[in-house]
Amino acid sequence: MSEFLSSHELLNLEEELRVANQLLYVEKKSNEGVAKSFKSLSLRTGWATYLWSDGEGLLNLKSSEPAAPKTDQFDLAIKFALARKHFSVFVFPINTKEAWLQAKLFFSTNQPDLSGVVKCLFILPVGKDHPFFLRHGKAIQLNMGLDGNYVLRDGQWVSANELP
């Protein structure tokens, strides 16, 4: 399984989550490796980190417990997250068609306060936006411009694939 985020991107995201006072969002095409990446973040920081899966619910990434009850739908999962009283990180991959539609419907009729101790990171489809995210969120640019296997040579980043 590939990594959703590189270790450098996870460190940058960790800092963003620590200081966030609003929802965070990132655009990604795929969710491949998302659980593995955020589980490593959770284990390294000790944070309670939950990953929402449409139809399954919110999974605590540090435990092998089943999904939290009644969190299989997006609106129920957001309400569960906002009811938390302690620092927690909730990751909502809403870059599939069904999940994106659920989120658009929810945020069209609700304006939840996402500025408390609960930190929410939304994974949006590339090229899609919603007024709620634009007004109340912060876009995280995790791509440092170095997609692939690069090395530093003579002060410049060079693709390792192009080295002799």
Query: What is the per-residue pLDDT for 1?
Result: 41
Query: What is the per-residue pLDDT for 74?
Result: 95
In a domain, 74, yes or no: yes
The tokens for 13 are 């995201």
* SS3 state of residue 101: helix
In a domain, 2, yes or no: no
Query: What is the per-residue pLDDT for 58?
Result: 96
Query: What is the per-residue pLDDT for 157?
Result: 76
Residue 45's nearest CA partner among 85, 84, 88, 91 is 88
In a domain, 1, yes or no: no
In a domain, 150, yes or no: yes
* 123 contacts 94 by C-beta, under 8 angstroms: yes
Query: What is the per-residue pLDDT for 149?
Result: 63
In a domain, 102, yes or no: yes
In a domain, 34, yes or no: yes
- Could you read off the pLDDT tens digit of each residue along the chain, which spans 164 residues? 456 777 778 888 899 999 999 999 988 888 888 888 899 999 999 999 999 999 999 999 988 889 999 999 999 999 999 999 999 999 999 988 899 899 999 998 988 888 888 999 999 888 877 788 888 889 988 655 545 566 777 877 777 666 66
Query: What is the per-residue pLDDT for 142?
Result: 65
Query: What is the per-residue pLDDT for 148?
Result: 55
Q: Residue 33 sits in which domain range?
A: 7-162
Number of domains in the chain: 1
Q: What is the CATH number of the domain that holds 107?
A: 3.40.50
Query: What is the per-residue pLDDT for 126?
Result: 83
Distance CA 142, CA 5 (A): 8
Distance CA 78, CA 161 (A): 43
Query: What is the per-residue pLDDT for 164?
Result: 67
